[in-house]
Structure 1
Amino acid sequence: MSSKLRILVPVKRVIDYAIKPRINKAQTGVETKGVKFSINPFCDIALEESIRLKEKTPELVESIHAVSIGPAKAQDVLRTALAKGADTSTLIDVGEEEVEPLQVAKLLHKMVEKQGSNLVVLGKQAIDDDSNQTGQMLAGLLDWPQATNASKVEIKDDEVFVTREIDGGADVLKAQLPMVITVDLRLNEPRYASLQNIMKAKKKPLEKLKLADLGVGSIDNRLEVLKVEEPPTRHAGIKVENVDELIAKLKELKVI
């Protein structure tokens, strides 16, 4: 490969995937007080794939830089990323403010320029808002080729091959650097950070930036959440003994 990979991996701090979210009393979003937070699972997979690329072909990968956009507490997920194998990291501190995908993409665009990155590997979506938009928007802003929902990533010579699952099979995309890749769940199984590596991560660089440091005045969100509510309770189903009974029940419900 003519140029070494300088990989940027965005990681988002979200409510832990094992916790059932609860809607807050104001019905403006999910309750975030007193709950466990961790790395978004899709971001964790993107990080793992980047680390595996470096382990398999160390001569191809120059660096892995993790970046998170969020409150000061997001340093925790960056420390985890460093413990797993990222070389350096940056926190863009926006306080408790929610940041929409377009604004995230614009901030990541600034980070790509700042870091001189030529490959961005990120989760296809975050499990809190499920937008699945940031990667595509970032590729558009950078005018780079993109491959979404990756289930396999291979680098051969100067080309990157990305396999993505589609209805009825698989689709293989080929592109050259620089590019953006968003990853799916079946790409890999993320590793756990060992205690030894967690301790070592405390000495790795963690840069802290404000919006002004990136030449951004403020977050310009364009969406307003009117109301968040629980889905209606589903009624229990019933079992029928045969087709005749099924048809009778459907007629009773006036669906046939």
Structure 2
Amino acid sequence: MKVLTAVKRVVDYNVKVRVKSDHSGVDIGNVKMSMNPFDEIATEAATRLKEAGVATEVVAVSCGVAQSQETLRTALAIGADRGVLVETDVELQSLAVAKLLKAVVEREQPQLVILGKQAIDDDAGQTGQLLAALLDWPQATFASHIDIADGRATITREVDGGMEVVSLRLPAIVTTDLRLNEPRYVTLPNIMKAKKKPIDIVKPADLGVDPTPRLKTLKVAEPPARKAGVMVPDVAALVEKLKTEAKVI
């Protein structure tokens, strides 16, 4: 069984981002970039399926600028067998990424596609669902456990009321949540091995996809600074402030 996992190059989660002076977006100049954390979880899940003998090959796919090869190398170091980069300098939005992934899926013919539930740069959380709709495949989102057997995927997913277990007929789309696993530490020997693994580079035009953005960002602004807290001497004073100032009780 072939498993395909999608990975995205984003600003590292430890970096405090800055908004551009013209409010057109986030300044990513000279900042550390890394793999989207949810995509690390997805790659780890695919690798564990291979180690368990369920999957025979793991293919990592990334869409974006040429530097996304570094992100793919990280996925290869985690355990993916080879990479595919859909290289473009166009700003990629969720629908365009889903269309590009659909074209890659049709080329690769995987039985399972695992993606992170969202990217930490735009927090859209749409690509997995859009891909499932375009392929007309069953999907399970926010997965906290994956079990594959007899041509079906049994997914435990996190919902507001607790846990839900769904059974999907393969091929299927799965998006991962935080509690699915803890990605392994990438060791130096695996990093060296990853340098020898192949990465196939294609353009959107090769896949017959137009990635032109359909949405326009009007303004990006930092959230307002939080006001300093106020110390109160006792519970009575706290209740009085909640009544008269905050007006929440």
Query: Normalising to structure 2: TM-score of the pair?
Result: 0.96
**1:28-43 → structure 2 map (5 Å cutoff):** 28-43=24-39
Instruction: Tell me the residue number matched to 2:217.
Output: 225
| CA offset digits 1:121-171 (Å, max 9, x no partner) | 000000000000000000000000000000111123332111112223210
Supply the distance in 1 between the matched residues of 2:12 and 2:180 (Cα, whole angstroms). Answer: 20
Question: In the TM superposition, what are the counterparts of 1:29-108 in structure 2 within 5 Å?
Answer: 29-56=25-52, 58=53, 60-95=54-89, 97-108=90-101
Structure 1 residue 243, shift from structure 2 partner: 3.5
> What does 1:1-256 align with in structure 2 at a 5 Å threshold?
5-56=1-52, 58=53, 60-95=54-89, 97-216=90-209, 218-253=210-245, 255=247
Q: What is the CA-CA distance between 1:117 and the residue it aligns to?
A: 1.3
Give CA deviations for 1:84-133 in whole Å, capped at 9, x if unaligned: 110111111112x2111011000000000010112100000000000000
Q: Secondary structure at the match of 1:106?
A: helix
CA RMSD of aligned residues (A): 1.3
Alignment partners' CA distance in 2, 1:30 and 1:43: 21
- Matched residue type, 2:138: P
Once residues 169 and 17 of structure 2 are traced to their aligned partners in structure 1, the CA distance between those partners, rounded to angstroms, is 40
Cα pair distance change 1:191/1:245, threshold 3 Å: same
Change (3 A) 1:53 1:241: same
Distance 1:120 1:248, change over 3 A: same
Shift of 1:254: 6.6
CA distance in 1 between counterparts of 2:145 and 2:231 reads 42
Code of the residue aligned with 1:46 in structure 2: it is: A
Q: Structure 1 residue 240: deviation in Å?
A: 2.6
| Distance in 2, Cα, partners of 1:254 & 1:133 | 36
Task: Write the distance in 2 (CA, Å) between the matches of 1:169 and 1:239.
Answer: 36
C-alpha contact (below 8 Å) 2:128/2:174 kept by paired residues? yes
CA distance in 1, matches of 2:92, 2:72: 18
AA aligned to 1:247 is V
**Could you list the runs of 5+ residues in structure 2 that have no partner in the other structure?**
none
Q: How far apart, in 2, do the equivalents of 1:21 and 1:186 lie?
A: 26
Contact 2:91/2:212 (8 A) holds in 1: no
Deviations 1:152-208 (A, max 9, x none): 111233321111122232100111100000000111010122111111111111011
Q: What SS does the corresponding residue of 2:232 show, helix, strand or coil? A: coil
Give SS of 2:142's match.
strand
Distance 2:138 2:165 in 1: 14
Q: How many aligned positions are there?
A: 248
After TM superposition, the structure 1 stretch with the greater mean CA deviation from structure 2, 139-148 or 229-238, is 229-238
For normalisation by structure 1, the TM-score amounts to 0.93
Q: Percent identity?
A: 53
Q: Displaced runs of 4+ in structure 1, greater than 6 A?
A: none
Q: Which amino acid aligns with 2:217?
A: V
State the secondary structure of the residue aligned to 2:51.
helix
